[in-house]
């Protein structure tokens, strides 16, 4: 049984930093992103350009703002959410388009303060007009190189790696896993399985997962969003996932209850208790990272309100929680947006956002030395500088005590 204080009231927001965080301050913070789909983050204006160049007429609007609104409208289910990818996929079927959107992805992440990212792509979804899977991967990797180089010209440094995704409903996961391994020294850092969970358990792809583990490579599986604990259990115990993509439904294996405030407690603070089931305890004890995507969970209906999202409970219970965007276009979000919403809802300050970021960097699919270098020389100094600036600004804003 674990006892902890529930989230702070709005009056105590920003308690682990000095005052409330605004978006400009959050944008300055170095951030790490582990769960982001390339095709789910395309700029609306780019989609319109690609449609005009190819004669495609399947977009829902001709104005970038209206098109963004259509993609970000609430979905009735994860499956409906996934169907909105179709017009995007129709426009990402040639090398030039893939290279362009990958370059823009790297630039957009750099502009948002993301210093390290792992972006996902399912190669088989981009072969309708004759590209091979290898050509798809080559085009995206070239775009990421171009985008990071352009970002450096403007003084913004980011490192964007690629995850190759197989689809649960398809039957070529072993081929995608082999492709990921072949590109492991050219910018691909791992293998992922995504797609609808209901009816497509991860064990359908156990051969691909076993191959990845035999090759000493990295594996993350989408599990625990559209389906519950059994999906998470299979991803971890049968498939051997190193990280859980989403994983929000692990909260179903945690029993929560409230205790009365302690007698004589002047603050009258209620204390919450949490009893972890065997699966939740295993994931916490083994430090298996959760790639939580709060805004995405709202969009797909996995949670009704951000205030109800398990991210805060899981953080307080010290799971290896990371915060991610999932699909920046479809969720109308960014890492700055995710952190800002969490700060507003749960009262997070600089220290908590730093904790999420270090968690993510520890969980990245790059070498130990590279992870430490980014933590010690980029992330920690970046947060320390913002923390000092923010504390100083708060000091000069306070009321004169005399």
Q: Is 259 a catalytic residue?
A: no
Distance CA 158, CA 147 (A): 9
Distance CA 230, CA 47 (A): 38
H/E stretch holding 26: helix 23-28
136 three-state secondary structure: helix
Distance CA 395, CA 402 (A): 14
10 Å CB burial of residue 330 (0-12, 13-18, 19+) is: buried
What single string gives the DSSP state of each residue in 137-197? HHHHHHHHHHHHHHHHHTT---EEEEEEEEETTSS-HHHHHHHHHHTTTTTEEEEEEES--
* Helices 350-362 and 335-346, packing angle to 10 deg: 130
Residue 3 has a CB neighbour count (10 Å cut-off) of 9
Q: Nearest CA to 238 among 192, 278, 204?
A: 204
Distance CA 351, CA 357 (A): 10
Distance CA 373, CA 364 (A): 13
Q: Nearest CA to 361 among 135, 26, 44, 118?
A: 118
Residue 79 has a CB neighbour count (10 Å cut-off) of 14
Distance CA 160, CA 206 (A): 28
DSSP state of 229: H
Which one is catalytic: 124, 225, 234, 338?
A: 225
User: Parallel, antiparallel, or unpaired for β 31-37 and 2-4?
Assistant: unpaired
Residues marked as catalytic: 225
């Amino acid at each position: 049984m674990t006892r902890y204080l529930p989230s702070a009231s709005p009056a105590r927001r920003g308690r682990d930093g000095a005052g409330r965080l605004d978006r400009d301050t959050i944008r300055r913070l170095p951030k790490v992103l582990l769960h982001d789909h390339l095709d789910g983050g395309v700029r609306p204006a780019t989609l319109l350009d690609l449609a005009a160049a190819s004669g495609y007429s399947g977009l829902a609007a001709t104005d970038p703002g209206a098109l963004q609104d259509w993609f970000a409208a609430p979905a009735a289910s994860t499956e409906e959410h996934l169907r909105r990818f179709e017009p995007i996929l129709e426009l990402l079927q040639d090398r030039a388009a893939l290279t362009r959107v990958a370059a823009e992805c790297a630039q957009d992440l750099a502009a948002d303060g993301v210093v390290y990212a792992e972006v996902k792509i399912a190669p088989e979804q981009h072969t309708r007009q004759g590209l091979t899977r290898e050509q798809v991967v080559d085009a995206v990797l070239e775009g990421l190189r171009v985008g990071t180089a352009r970002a450096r010209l403007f003084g913004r440094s980011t490192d964007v790696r690629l995850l190759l995704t197989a689809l649960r409903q398809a039957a070529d996961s072993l081929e995608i896993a082999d492709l990921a391994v072949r590109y492991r020294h050219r910018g691909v850092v791992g293998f992922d399985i995504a797609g609808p969970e209901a009816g497509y358990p991860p064990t359908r792809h156990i051969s691909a997962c076993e191959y990845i583990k035999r090759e000493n490579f990295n594996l993350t599986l989408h599990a625990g969003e559209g389906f519950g604990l059994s999906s998470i259990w299979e991803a971890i115990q049968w498939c051997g996932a190193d990280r859980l993509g989403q994983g929000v439904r692990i909260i179903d294996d945690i029993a929560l209850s409230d205790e009365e405030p302690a007698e004589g407690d002047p603050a009258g603070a209620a204390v919450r208790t949490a009893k972890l089931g065997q699966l939740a305890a295993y994931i916490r004890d083994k430090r298996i990272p959760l790639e939580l995507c709060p805004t995405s969970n709202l969009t797909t209906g996995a949670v009704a309100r951000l205030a109800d999202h398990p991210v805060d409970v899981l953080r307080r219970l010290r799971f290896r929680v990371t915060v991610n965007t999932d699909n920046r276009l479809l969720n109308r979000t960014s890492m700055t947006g995710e952190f800002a919403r969490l700060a507003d809802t749960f009262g997070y300050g600089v220290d908590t956002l730093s904790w999420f970021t270090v968690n993510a960097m520890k969980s990245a699919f790059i070498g130990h030395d590279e992870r430490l270098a980014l933590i010690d020389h980029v992330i920690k100094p970046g947060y320390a500088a913002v923390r000092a600036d923010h504390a100083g600004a708060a000091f000069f804003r306070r009321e004169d005590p005399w």
